[in-house]
Amino acid sequence: MAAIPTSTRSSLSQKLNTRARERWPQITRVSTRFRGSFAYVTAQLPDGDELPLMRLRYGGSAHTWGFAIYRASHNDYQDSWLPNGHTAATPEDALDTAASLYLTDPTVWT
């Protein structure tokens, strides 16, 4: 598995926080922790709660990442498809998909 370069880690966090500010007022901040080739993404909510959203898998490109949704019912991550039928996406599209499920905003699909 490819290790995530430091510059890619930084740009991923910036991209996710920028997208959250643009599209998700329910999210005050996105935190990202890294382990091996994975980035685990958690939303910080206005009341201080943390909401795990997804896991991204680095495959060598900072633009396209493998996508796994967080399953609260199992406390794990499940490789998943996006609305376009793909299993990989830009970080912004992955955030939109996960946030739309957990924050109940179906307009992201249209």
Q: Model pTM?
A: 0.91
In this structure, which long-range contacts are made by residues 92-97, counting pairs with CB atoms below 8 Å and at least 24 apart in sequence? 92/15, 92/16, 92/19, 94/41, 94/54, 94/56, 94/65, 94/67, 95/16, 95/19, 95/20, 95/24, 95/30, 95/41, 95/53, 95/54, 96/19, 96/23, 97/54, 97/67, 97/69
Task: Kindly state whether residue 34 falls inside one of the protein's structural domains.
Answer: yes
Task: Kindly state whether residue 59 falls inside one of the protein's structural domains.
Answer: yes
Task: Kindly state whether residue 71 falls inside one of the protein's structural domains.
Answer: yes
Residue 6 has pLDDT above 70, yes or no: yes
Task: Kindly state whether residue 86 falls inside one of the protein's structural domains.
Answer: yes
Give residue 91's domain range.
6-104
Task: Kindly state whether residue 92 falls inside one of the protein's structural domains.
Answer: yes
Number of domains in the chain: 1
pLDDT tens digits for 60-85? 999 999 999 999 999 999 999 998 89
Q: Determine the average pLDDT of the residues in 29-43.
A: 97
Task: Kindly state whether residue 110 falls inside one of the protein's structural domains.
Answer: no
Q: What's the pLDDT score for residue 2? A: 76
